[in-house]
């Protein structure tokens, strides 16, 4: 028997949910023990979408491109239908199958090659993915179409993170989003003297490599961006009347710098004057404005 997904007449007792045409979710079991997709079917019945296959009972064996995967509960696999495959099952096998548009995977992973590796859903991010998938199916009748798609979007994002390894996906569009979040975080925490790439990545839930890659894509580095935001913070405080009572040393420590000399050197390189000169110029401008 050929495996034609996701037509309900191919499933014995399966249930299909499709909300907006973007995602489909199946709780599947069948009396048929073998499904195949031949090279001829790939040519004549093209199907670019991916399937997330997660057994909930029994065992499934998936063979494609000379590779074989044995899937049991608490494991999963992201499958492609753009190449022939064979799938075997035992009599007790049941599984969730989620249909995911190819572009939703490609734009997050920045690749279009099949992903045939088994996914561990017993711990960490894998366990989160499995929990969301199970909950999405359990609550399918209570969710609106928009809610169903929103949860599915988040699930696919986490799934791609899991498939890519420890790092977040590295698609250019996603790197831009990461860089924006990193910039915002640095701006809000510039005064923290303990902030560095490692602590920032940990706070945001990303790896150091992903933060570095995102900022490299934006033309900077974590160290340069942290220094720039701290210098901007000092400049603004030097100009603000509310901070006139603070000495340069106090401003340095309150703005994340290790010492007033470190601040003075970096400040002169960036703005062409030392902090004291900028403070004096600011006061002079205020006095001149008052006299005019």
Confidence band of 32 (pLDDT split at 50, 70, 90): low
The stretch 11-17 carries a mean pLDDT of: 44
Task: Supply 201's token pair.
Answer: 């990545």
Burial of 44 (0-12, 13-18, 19+ CB in 10 A): exposed
What is the rounded average pLDDT for all residues in the chain?
81
The stretch 240-256 carries a mean pLDDT of: 92
pLDDT digits (tens, 9 = 90+) for 143-167: 888 888 889 988 988 888 787 764 4
Return the axis-axis angle of helices 275-291 and 260-271, rounded to nearest 10°. Answer: 60
Residue 181 in this model has a pLDDT that exceeds 60:
yes
The pLDDT, as a whole number, for residue 173 is 60
The pLDDT, as a whole number, for residue 226 is 95
From residue 205, give the alpha-carbon distance in Å to each of 60, 166, 202, 229, 283.
33, 11, 5, 21, 43
Report which of residues 132 and 285 the model is more confident about.
132
DSSP assigned state of 50? E
Cβ distance 143 to 135 under 8 Å?
no
Residue 170 in this model has a pLDDT that exceeds 90:
no
Q: How far apart are CA 14 and CA 8, in angstroms?
A: 7
The pLDDT, as a whole number, for residue 252 is 94
Cβ distance 263 to 252 under 8 Å?
yes
The pLDDT, as a whole number, for residue 16 is 45
Burial of 130 (0-12, 13-18, 19+ CB in 10 A): buried
| C-alpha 60, offset from chain centre | 29
Going by C-alpha positions, the residue among 123, 204, 109 that lies closest to residue 164 is 109
Whole-prediction pTM:
0.53
Cβ distance 250 to 207 under 8 Å?
no
The pLDDT, as a whole number, for residue 13 is 43
Task: Supply 179's token pair.
Answer: 């860089």
Cβ distance 71 to 62 under 8 Å?
yes
Report which of residues 54 and 17 the model is more confident about.
54
Q: How far apart are CA 173 and CA 3, in angstroms?
A: 35
What the chain holds in terms of domains, given with CATH numbers, is 8-164 (2.60.120.280), 172-291 (1.10.10.60)
Paired residues of 119 in beta bridges: 76
The pLDDT, as a whole number, for residue 11 is 37
């Amino acid at each position: 028997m050929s495996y034609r997904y996701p037509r309900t007449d191919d499933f014995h007792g399966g249930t299909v949910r499709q909300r907006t045409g973007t995602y489909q979710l199946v709780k599947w079991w069948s009396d048929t023990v073998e499904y195949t997709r031949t090279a001829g079917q790939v040519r004549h019945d093209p199907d670019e979408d991916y399937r997330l296959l997660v057994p909930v009972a029994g065992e499934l064996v998936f063979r494609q491109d000379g590779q074989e995967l044995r899937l049991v509960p608490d494991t999963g696999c992201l499958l492609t239908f753009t190449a022939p495959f064979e799938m075997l099952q035992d009599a007790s096998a049941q599984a969730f199958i989620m249909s995911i548009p190819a572009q939703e995977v490609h734009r997050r992973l920045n690749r279009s090659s099949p992903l045939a590796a088994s996914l561990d859903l017993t711990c960490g991010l894998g366990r989160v993915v499995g929990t969301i998938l199970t909950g999405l199916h359990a609550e399918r009748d209570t969710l609106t179409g928009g809610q169903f798609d929103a949860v599915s979007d988040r699930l696919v994002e986490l799934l791609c993170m899991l498939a890519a390894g420890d790092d977040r996906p590295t698609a250019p569009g996603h790197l831009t989003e990461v860089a924006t979040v990193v910039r915002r975080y640095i701006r809000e925490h510039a005064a923290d003297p303990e902030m560095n790439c490692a602590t920032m990545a940990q706070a945001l839930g990303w790896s150091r490599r992903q933060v570095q890659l995102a900022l490299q894509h934006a033309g900077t580095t974590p160290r340069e961006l942290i220094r720039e935001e701290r210098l901007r913070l000092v400049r603004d405080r030097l100009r603000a009347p509310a901070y006139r009572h603070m000495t340069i040393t106090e401003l340095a420590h309150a703005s994340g710098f290790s010492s007033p000399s470190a601040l003075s050197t970096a400040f002169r390189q960036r703005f062409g004057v030392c902090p004291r000169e900028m403070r004096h110029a600011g006061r002079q401008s205020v006095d001149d404005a008052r006299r005019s």
